[in-house]
Amino acid sequence: MKIRDFFDYYGVIGNPFAEEDAQNDDVFKRFCLTNSFHAAWDKVYGNPAEPATSVVFGEKGSGKTALRLQMIRMLTEYNTGHQGCRPLVIDYSDLNPFIDQFKQRFPRGRKIQKVFARYEIWDHLDAILSLAVTQLVDRILEPGQMPHPAAVDTKPLPIEKLNPHQVRDLLLLSACYDTSRSENTLTRWIKLAKNLQYVRWYSPRYPLSWEWTFGVLFTFFTAYLAWHFTKTFYTLLTPWLWSIIIGSWLPGIIKDGKRFWQAWKLKRSLRVLPHHKGTLFKILLRLQKQDFTGMPFPVSGSTDHRYAMLEKLLAVCKPLGLDGLIIIMDRVDEPYLINGSAELMKLVVWSIFDNKLLKHDRVGLKLLLPDQLLTFMERESGEFHQRARLDKQNLIRSLDWTGEALFDLTNVRLRACAAEGKTPQITDFFEESLDRKRLIDAFAKLKVPRHLFKFLYVLFARHVSEHTDTEPLWNIPATTFETALSLYLRERDAAEKHLGVV
């Protein structure tokens, strides 16, 4: 038998159980994304108008990535209908660029455990601010051109609603955190300054200043006077004349020196971002002194300045119709430097468990974490739990699936692939002795959707391989089902034991 003929017999187009990862699952994206939710959905998703933190622990294949994709889809629908108060959604699921950049700040031979032990909460804040600011600048300069989660803009954000202080803050945020690679960083900043109508007595493209203008004019004026009164070339080489000329250049030298020092400190402190100090220096030169002095630049290993920058971001977003941030963190086990290691995941993720961030006003973190980290959390001291206050964070200790939930999920996927006029059920595929109750009991042992889909794929493949096209058997026998289930559970348990999961 051919598996295609087997599914065609029941009116099912394609194989509903071929994919195991929601990220690449076409059936999930077409149908289940808005029609099949985990029982904990409401607690995880919350209310977009009042962003709140949720912390979810789940084993591999339990549906964490599916939850992330569903949240982004539902937030997209929410933003479409709430133009004046949409949350800015940040997909913090690709840690590779940040931890790669972080590792480069340390000697090549240093052990990765010692490197990640230095990963602090301000590094997470820098990464989050970078994703948020880059998205914001994209949506101002190129609305609809760059893909961002839950961004439904059809025209540029209304930057004319920003007051002068917010314009300054947005330019400061862009200088520190805009890491787009769609074009040259300096060119992009200049374009943003032009769109924001950042008023100076000179163009942001040509960073002249009164200090250097004064130095140039004073030099020519002094040289002219010296030549005019002495008519001697050697007068221009006298030490007293050069002392006066150099003194006229000191304000410009001091100013640029301060800006270069600030650029160097920024590059050193923003450990997860790929900044170049020369570009930072050129951008800082284009800011007015009153806009620059006293600002909370993130130039030290401290959270205070990062929280100040976060407040500035929230203040800038408000008049643009973006009310609050929703940050979705997922796939923390997938970066190649972590490679599934629970210890390395803990070193990277643990610093984000700070109640000040988790309960920050108008900020909601959705942390979708592997269940291995739950064991580490339960072993932590009272100091950790006092700092994280997980009792206030909508904590879900396990993303469990009951047999009934998996049974319903299976039928949902079958209907998603059904031909017109067909309504297949999973019970249709088996002989009568395999009733609904037995299937639910068997599915409960599989625990999570990924194992369920793997098992059904193996089961169907095994069944069709045991029968010919000339003598097909359309109902799977109980013996085939029980044998395949026993073998799959044994292989799964052996694999999990080998990986240290159980």
- Measured over the CA atoms of residue 364, residue 368, residue 369 and residue 375, the dihedral's sign is positive
Overall domain count for the chain: 3
Place of tokens 């997980």: 390
Examine residue 377 and state whether it is found in any structural domain, yes or no: yes
The answer on 244 and 116 residing in a single domain is: no
**Res 35: pLDDT:** 79
- The count of other CB atoms within 10 Å of the CB of residue 450 is 19
Confidence bin at 212 (pLDDT 50/70/90):
low
Q: Does residue 59 share a domain with residue 118?
A: yes
Average pLDDT of span 476-489: 95
CB atoms within 10 A of CB 41: 14
Task: Please check whether residues 368 and 341 belong to one and the same domain.
Answer: yes
If asked whether residues 173 and 320 sit together in one domain, one would say yes
Which carries the bigger pLDDT value, residue 403 or residue 496? 403
- Dist. CA 446–CA 448, nearest whole Å: 6
pLDDT at 146: 76
Using DSSP's 3-state secondary structure scheme, residue 146 falls into: coil
Q: Is 497 exposed, middle or buried (0-12, 13-18, 19+ CB in 10 A)?
A: exposed
pLDDT tens column, 411-447: 999 998 999 889 999 999 999 999 999 999 999 999 9
The token duo for 282 is 């050129």
pLDDT for 240 = 61
Domain presence at residue 28: no
Q: Is the four-CA dihedral 116, 335, 324, 193 of positive or negative sign?
A: positive
Mean pLDDT across the chain: 88
Report whether 470 contacts 427 (CB < 8 A). no
Looking at the DSSP bridge assignments, the partners of residue 55 are 367, 395
Q: Determine the pLDDT at residue 442.
A: 96
**25 lies in some domain:** no
Task: Specify whether 264 is located in the same domain as 369.
Answer: no
In this prediction, residue 181 has a pLDDT band, given cuts at 50, 70 and 90, of confident
**Boundary-marking domain end, from 396, 419, 442:** 396
Final residue of a domain: which of 379, 396, 413?
396
pLDDT band at 409, cuts 50/70/90?
very high
CA distance 373 to 391: 16
- Mean pLDDT within 166-180: 94
User: Could you list the residue range(s) of the whole structural domain that residue 231 is in?
Assistant: 210-285
Residue 138 lies in a domain: yes
Residue range 126-165, pLDDT digits in tens: 999 999 999 999 999 988 777 899 998 888 889 999 999 9
Q: Is residue 22 part of a domain?
A: no
DSSP-assigned states of every residue in 154-192: SS---GGG--HHHHHHHHHHHHHH----SS-HHHHHHHH
Return the beta strands (E) in 261-408 as ranges.
Answer: 322-329, 363-370, 395-396
Q: What is the pLDDT of residues 219-256, one digit of tens each?
A: 766 766 666 666 565 555 567 666 766 677 677 777 88
Residues 144, 249: one domain? no
Q: Are residues 412 and 332 in the same domain?
A: no
pLDDT level of residue 453 (50, 70, 90 thresholds): very high
CB count within 10 Å of CB 33 equals 18
Distance between CA atoms of residues 481 and 210, nearest Å: 83
Judgement on whether residues 448 and 313 belong to the same structural domain of the protein? no
Q: Please tell me whether residues 312 and 453 are part of one structural domain.
A: no
The answer to whether residues 310 and 455 belong to one domain is no
Token pair for residue 260?
């270069």
The region, left, alpha or beta by phi > 0 then psi within -120 to 50, assigned to residue 86 is beta
- Better-scored residue on pLDDT, 13 or 238: 13
Residue 111 lies in a domain: yes
pTM: 0.90
H or E element, residue 86: strand 86-92
Q: In what order do the strands lie in the sheet with 86-92?
A: 86-92, 322-329, 363-370, 54-58, 395-396
With a pLDDT cut of 70, the percent of the chain lying above it is 90
pLDDT of 238: 67
Strand 363-370 to 322-329 pairing: parallel
- Which of helix, strand or coil describes residue 19? coil
pLDDT confidence of residue 201: 47
CA atoms of 73 and 213, how far apart (whole Å): 54
Q: Between β-strands 86-92 and 322-329, what pairing exists: parallel, antiparallel or unpaired?
A: parallel
Q: What b/e readout covers 3-29, taking b as 16+ CB neighbours within 10 angstroms?
A: eeebbeebbbeebbbebbebeebebbb
**Which among 177, 179, 168, 188 is positioned nearest to 292, based on CA atoms?**
168
Instruction: Identify whether the C-beta of residue 417 lies closer than 8 Å to the C-beta of residue 16.
Output: yes
411 and 354 co-located in one domain = no
Last residue of a domain, one of 396, 417, 448: 396
Three-state DSSP class for residue 113: helix
Strand partners, 86: 322
The pLDDT of residue 36 is above 90: no
Q: Would 274 be classed as within a structural domain?
A: yes
DSSP E strands, 209-281: none
203: pLDDT strictly greater than 60: no
Q: Would you say residue 78 lies in a domain?
A: yes
- Window from 239-243, 292-296, 390-394 with minimum mean pLDDT: 239-243
The answer to whether the beta carbons of residues 80 and 48 sit under 8 Å apart is no
Same domain flag for 80 and 162:
yes
